[in-house]
Amino acid sequence: MQKLHSILLLSSVAILSAALLSSCAGGASSSTGWAYNDSENGGFQRLPYIGQETGPGLVFVEGGTFTMGQVEDDLTGAWDNIPRRVTVSSFYMDEAEVTNFYWLEYLFWLGRVYGDGFPEIVDRAKPDTLVWRDPRAYNEPYVNYYLRHPAYRDYPVVGVSWLQANDFCKWRTDRVNEQIMVREGFLVHNPTGQVDDSYFSTEAYLDGQYEEAAKAADGIKDLRPNGVGYRNVAMTDGILLPDYRLPTEAEWEYAALSLIGNSGEELITSRRTYPWDGHYVRNDDSRGKFYGEINANFVRARGDYMGVAGALNDNADVTAPVYSYAPNDYGLYNMAGNVSEWVMDVYRPGTLQDAQEFRPFRGNVFSTKLLDSEGNVADKLDYVQYDVSAIEGFLEEYTEATEGRLTSAGNNLIDALNQKIENANENLDLKRVEDAMIQMDEALDLIEESEAPCAPDLRKAWTRNITNTPGQMRYREVTLEENIGRRNYQIADNIDYLDGDKESSIYFDQEEEGAVYEYGGTSLINDNVRVYKGGSWNDRVYWVIPGTRRFLEEDQSSSTIGFRCAMTRVGSPRGNAMGDN
């Protein structure tokens, strides 16, 4: 853990206890004059807070304005990166790409928690190692060894879809916050008690749905007159960190350019094409250890992936260890080359023409926690949620593709699965979500009990279309009815707002719903296609320019795409005065 609360906040337990022993320790409200941390005044608490600590693996990226989408030439003729000046808030970003070893740690945890009760959740997280295969190349060694052999443990993980990367970010958030809670004495370190839905989830804990047995004897002293002695940590206490997540496209591009290294005051001394100065790819810092070396891992020329023996130009055939090559001026490694990286945004070719100038992003689907009839947050999940429509679509395609080639057992299995899906859809229409998921679980049981040769293929449809797992809180999309009178937004899904919806279609004045992007016909663009940025070990140098952008379906993966996590910076955009950055 990097410079965590033990440095920034000293020891939270000691400092909180000292502050709460004295009614005047928190000062008094300049609004009401009432003293904080005083049970005689109702017990409203103001706890010591110095600033956001830097989470494990992260570095601070001070935000600012920059020209997004700037490239040398539009080689593809896509006109999808027209330069536009925008502003990005300060944030944190992984110093390097997520590695194979980090992913193995993730798989190990999933196996320990879900392996017995929900093995399909473990299967869902496994990278697609077959992305290395090529009909005209011998890449089987990477298929067999790249993820698991210790020789590759510090190399970037690949074969991971956008959806899988987001799941990793959620898991990482919970594990980091769990460690902070243990470190500060609020939780008992209890890995043996973590099974199925009985593990630490940040959201479940904040909503009071984490098992009491895992808590330490003392929490934060509850100073309310009717308090119960101690209370749970709350987000208002400043102890828990914000979520790890994928960076937005604007954040990634801004961090890659790292203009902080060639600017003084508000003057940028020279335009950057790459994440370093100059229009060449070798390091020209005569004072550094990387002088004269290639700055990134990419294809230098036709058929030249690594250079000549005895003088390898980038010292890598495919990917390289994540701390290879010189970092950029933010201290970030491999923001050019090695692997391209997933970002949060949904792809639209016209994004930069109509993006917001402040914190631009396309992909918002607004949701809220599910409440029960009394207005309380609904219980966390204790079952697996599936995307029923996606599974149904897969079965239709699979049946068509295998027509006349399935065994009778296979045909009977598919018929039984379709019946379960029909029952699940009936329950979903009646808002009986849990009953629908029971039908889908029963369908999965039919697959696992079947001896039909097609059963392994069908099982993948279930594992790949899990949308939520036991232990997570339940969410729903916001509705138009609850947003009546709201001016900033009304509907939940804003992915196609002004670019793909009816208003932006040539059919805007007709009753028919016309699609702007005909996926699979005139384009490969839809609301499930995500942006990835930067060049990879398999790209020419053009793609290492931060302004370039490409896209891929969110459930697909590649041997050239990895990712790194980001975290929102809360409070001052300059970082903490005591230097948490």
pLDDT the model gives residue 216: 60
SS3 for 454? coil
Taking the C-alpha atoms of residue 154 and residue 323, their distance in angstroms, rounded to an integer, is 8
DSSP for residue 522: T
Residues in the chain: 581
β-pair type (529-533, 84-88) = unpaired
Output the pTM of the full model.
Answer: 0.92
Taking the C-alpha atoms of residue 581 and residue 574, their distance in angstroms, rounded to an integer, is 9
The DSSP string of 67-112 is: EET--S--TT-------EEEEE--EEEESSPPBHHHHHHHHHHHHH
Give 111-121 pLDDT, tens digit per residue.
999 999 999 99
User: Who wins on pLDDT, 20 or 164?
Assistant: 164
Give 51-74 pLDDT, tens digit per residue.
899 999 999 999 999 999 988 788
pLDDT at 2 over 60: no
Backbone phi, psi, residue 245, to 5°: -160, 175
Q: Residue 471 is encoded by which pair of tokens?
A: 């232990």
Give 506-565 pLDDT, tens digit per residue.
777 776 665 688 888 888 899 999 999 999 999 999 999 999 999 999 999 999 999 999
Taking the C-alpha atoms of residue 567 and residue 61, their distance in angstroms, rounded to an integer, is 10
pLDDT the model gives residue 513: 60
Taking the C-alpha atoms of residue 364 and residue 346, their distance in angstroms, rounded to an integer, is 9
Q: Residue 505 is encoded by which pair of tokens?
A: 């279609």
Taking the C-alpha atoms of residue 15 and residue 179, their distance in angstroms, rounded to an integer, is 19
Q: C-alpha dihedral over 422, 423, 429, 434, to 10 degrees?
A: -130
Q: What is the mean pLDDT of residues 155-163?
A: 98
Q: Residue 261 is encoded by which pair of tokens?
A: 């290294």
Percent of the chain with pLDDT over 70: 92
Give the chain's largest Cα–Cα span.
81
Query: How many Cα atoms are found within 13 Å in the side-chain-facing hemisphere of 447?
Result: 22
Taking the C-alpha atoms of residue 529 and residue 550, their distance in angstroms, rounded to an integer, is 10
Taking the C-alpha atoms of residue 574 and residue 554, their distance in angstroms, rounded to an integer, is 34
Contact at 8 Å (CB) between 25 and 47?
no
**Token pair 């250890």: residue:** 289
Give 393-410 pLDDT, tens digit per residue.
999 999 999 998 999 999
Q: Residue 379 is encoded by which pair of tokens?
A: 């219980």
Question: How many other C-beta atoms lie within 10 A of the C-beta of residue 117?
Answer: 13
DSSP for residue 230: E
**224 pLDDT tier (thresholds 50, 70, 90):** confident
Q: What is the mean pLDDT of residues 246-264?
A: 92
SS3 for 268? strand
Lowest mean pLDDT among 225-234, 345-354, 355-364, 520-529: 225-234
pLDDT the model gives residue 213: 58
Contact at 8 Å (CB) between 367 and 478?
yes
